[in-house]
Structure 1
Amino acid sequence: MNIIGSYLLTAAAEAGAAHAEAEGGFGLNLDIFETNIINLAILVGVLFYFGKGLLTNILTERKAGIATEIQAAEKSAKEAAAALSEAQQKLTQAQAEAQRIRKTAEENAQLAKESILAQALKDVEQMKQMAANDLTTETERAIADLRQQVVAKALQKVESQLRQQVDGNAEQKLLDRSITLLGSEA
């Protein structure tokens, strides 16, 4: 009733101000018919009666909408918190997996390093063995060449000495004896 009362007083004050202006002064007009207080009271009563239900419905719908939005926001917040928790868990798992992969890679790198070093040592030993074998072969070949040269020089020397010491007659006897020997062997 406070609202209606304040409307009525406001309407009365406005009507009084209009009347005072017409008479040339300030005053309060209490004439009910002249100020349309009855019409204003009816209008305010009708608005209050019919508007109350409409206003109540609007406020109820607005309240329900706000409650729904709050529930949706709370649900979204819970879903976001769950998604964050899941993402953190996945991050932890991914970090653990990355650590495991790094450790495995380091172990594999160490094994590969050791394998390469072992293979390199083996290759060095093989090269040393091949070099030793090549040296031995070259030495044997050089010795064989020297022997052939020594034998060839010795044969040349013996041949030259035989030519000097053996005369034509002795040479004929030697040839005859060699032919006889060859004939008896055959």
Structure 2
Amino acid sequence: MRSVSEIVAPSSYWTLAASFGSNTNILEINLINLILVLGVLFYYGKGVLINFLENRKRTILNTISDAEERYKEATEKLKRARTRLQQAKVKAAEIRINQLTQMDREQRDLVDAADEDLRRLEDSKNYTIRFEKQRAIEQVRQQVSRLASERALESLNSRLDNELHLRMIDYHIGLLRAMENATD
């Protein structure tokens, strides 16, 4: 049967290794292998690593540039928004002042209209009072006149007899004839 060392490395390898000399110190061998691997990686991987770092650098610079551009745009938008806000505040103040002025004007107009209505009502009331007073006076006059006529008629009826009545008629007829002759 073959030993493990023969399976892993044939005896022909050992004869070659013996001619070069063999180093059995594992730490030294690993250090040398590590340096060799790093050297090969550095030599062949340098281009890949440089390309990767260049791409990363470009990506970072583009990201920074985009961020700066967005910052400038945002700053400009903020300035415009602040300007529009100031304009809106000024417009709101103008509207508020106009509304207050209009409210004062409408309030004065309402007060003036109420005063005018009150004056008209007062005039109407005074006219109605005068009218009612005149009507009452006229009614009293008519009533007094009617009562006076009734009393005079009663007095005449109580004093007047047929003879006095005939004399009055003759007297008035005579007056009418005299007036008729005077006009002819």
TM-score, reference length from structure 1 = 0.71
- Cα deviation for residue 177 of structure 1 reads 8.8
Give, in whole Å, the separation in 2 of the partners of 1:178 and 1:53.
Answer: 160
- Cα deviation for residue 113 of structure 1 reads 1.7
Distance 1:178 1:57, change over 3 A: farther
**Percent identity of paired positions between Structure 1 and Structure 2:** 32
How many residues end up aligned between the 2 structures? 153
Give, in whole Å, the separation in 2 of the partners of 1:159 and 1:86.
Answer: 106
Give, in whole Å, the separation in 2 of the partners of 1:157 and 1:131.
Answer: 38
Could you say which residue in structure 1 is the equivalent of 2:105? 111
| Of 94, 97, 106, the match for 1:100 | 94
Give, in whole Å, the separation in 1 of the partners of 2:35 and 2:118.
Answer: 118
Could you say which residue in structure 2 is the equivalent of 1:44? 38
Distance 1:36 1:95, change over 3 A: closer
1:63 aligns with 2:57: yes
Give, in whole Å, the separation in 2 of the partners of 1:133 and 1:56.
Answer: 112
1:120 aligns with 2:127: no
Could you say which residue in structure 1 is the equivalent of 2:23? 31
Q: Kindly report the root-mean-square deviation, in angstroms, between the aligned alpha carbons of the 2 structures.
A: 2.9
- Cα deviation for residue 49 of structure 1 reads 1.6
Q: Deviations over 1:132-185 (max 9, x none)?
A: 100110010001000011011001101110110112454567679999x8xxxx
2:44 alignment partner, SS class = helix
TM-score, reference length from structure 2 = 0.72
Runs of 4+ more than 3 Å apart: 36-42, 168-179
- Cα deviation for residue 40 of structure 1 reads 4.1
Distance 1:38 1:110, change over 3 A: closer
2:85 alignment partner, SS class = helix
Give, in whole Å, the separation in 2 of the partners of 1:152 and 1:101.
Answer: 74
Could you say which residue in structure 1 is the equivalent of 2:66? 72
Could you say which residue in structure 2 is the equivalent of 1:4? none
Q: Determine which structure has greater relative contact order: mean sequence separation of CA pairs < 8 Å that are 6+ residues apart, divided by chain length.
A: 1
- Cα deviation for residue 117 of structure 1 reads 1.7
Give, in whole Å, the separation in 2 of the partners of 1:138 and 1:71.
Answer: 97
Could you say which residue in structure 2 is the equivalent of 1:24? none
* Aligned residue runs from structure 1 range 1-186, under 5 A: 31=23, 35=29, 39-171=33-165
